[in-house]
Amino acid sequence: MMIEKEIIIEKDIFATVTCPQQAGVFPAVLLIAGSGPIDRDGNGKKGKYPTNLYKELAAFFTELGFMTLRYDKHGTGKRQGDWRDAGLSDLLSDAKAAAAFLQGQPNVSKVIVCGHSEGTILATDLAATMAIDGCMLLSGGVDNLMEALIHQRKQAYRELLEMPGWKGWINRKLKVDEINEKKAEKLLEKMKASKRDTIRVQGIKQPAKWFREHADYQTRAALQRVTCPVFALHGNKDPLVDSTVLEELAGLVQGESEYHVVEDMEHGLREQAEPKSILKTKALMKTVLTRPLHKEGLQLMAGWLKRFLAED
């Protein structure tokens, strides 16, 4: 059993705190969401792609004996604004405010930051710049955003060029990889050249500040300043991350670290027996979201987190 309540941090950050039902002092886990217009529970607007990932993780961590906190980003959930106006600096400001809130609670003994996807970059920065007791990197880590996007585009190009039959032949003939890479580079240069929070490209509003600030952020340099224990978890069915970069982790952080790549786990930490494919991610999502969080992934997280319970 757990207690769940809504709070407001610094006037406009709507958040949910969960804690075990019994009274006491607990280590806390701060959940930091991935990119895009997803709220504190991990859901998009109007019920589109309701993952409930962070809500499920909060319940799982609380069952283990942790307090958790998850919060709405700009323009998501109950929070006002447009999520595309927020840059990396704004996201970091929110995350640091949430971490500081937990550190100021009399019933919190330790604070562990747990970032998912883009949230791994924020979690890394908090671990590098604040007195954080542990850092969890789920479906991300080591690479900065630009490096992750390059990996994703290369994965998409491979799948396009390897399509069977006439589709693959046309893609190779048209050199879709070269054409699309030039378009991506041109878009990034436009956003780097802009000084506005957002710009319109072919009528589509783009988060220019977010791209600029991420392009300047060096995740590996931040990791070199991290002294707390670090845990990283990827799935081998996740097309959005390069799991080989996790091999660098031990050589970057100052303290202890461990990483795991779980078989048949996708980006949202759920079970996926189907082949890995970035082009079929959305088509697979409806099916994948009906499945539970990956059992082995949960077991690995629990095993690492229980050390903080033992230390209390």
- Per-residue pLDDT 10s for the chain (312 aa) are 789 999 999 989 999 999 999 889 999 999 999 999 999 999 998 777 789 999 999 999 999 999 999 999 999 999 999 999 999 999 999 999 999 999 999 999 999 999 999 999 999 999 999 999 999 999 999 999 999 999 999 999 999 999 999 999 999 999 999 999 999 999 999 999 999 999 998 889 999 999 999 999 999 999 999 999 999 999 999 999 999 999 999 999 999 999 999 999 999 999 999 999 999 999 999 899 999 999 999 999 999 999 888 877
The residues, any chain, with a CB within 8 Å of residue 74's CB and separated by 6 or more, are 80, 81, 82, 83, 85, 86, 90, 94
Helices (H), the chain: 53-64, 88-103, 119-129, 145-161, 165-174, 176-193, 208-216, 219-223, 249-252, 281-288, 295-311
Question: Which residues pair with residue 257 across a beta bridge?
Answer: 230
Quick check: 131 and 48 in contact, CB under 8 A? no
In this prediction, residue 230 carries a pLDDT of: 98
Look up residue 68 and give its two tokens. 């958790």
Tokens 């050589």 sit on residue = 251
In this prediction, residue 45 carries a pLDDT of: 83
Helix (H, G, I), strand (E, B) or coil at 243: helix
How, if at all, do strands 230-235 and 134-138 pair? parallel
The residues, any chain, with a CB within 8 Å of residue 165's CB and separated by 6 or more, are none
Say what the pTM is: 0.96
For 11: left if phi > 0, alpha if psi spans -120 to 50, otherwise beta; the answer is: left
Say how many C-beta atoms besides its own lie within 10 A of residue 93's C-beta.
14
In this prediction, residue 23 carries a pLDDT of: 86
Q: Taking the alpha carbons of 215, 219, 225, 226 in that order, is the dihedral positive or negative?
A: positive
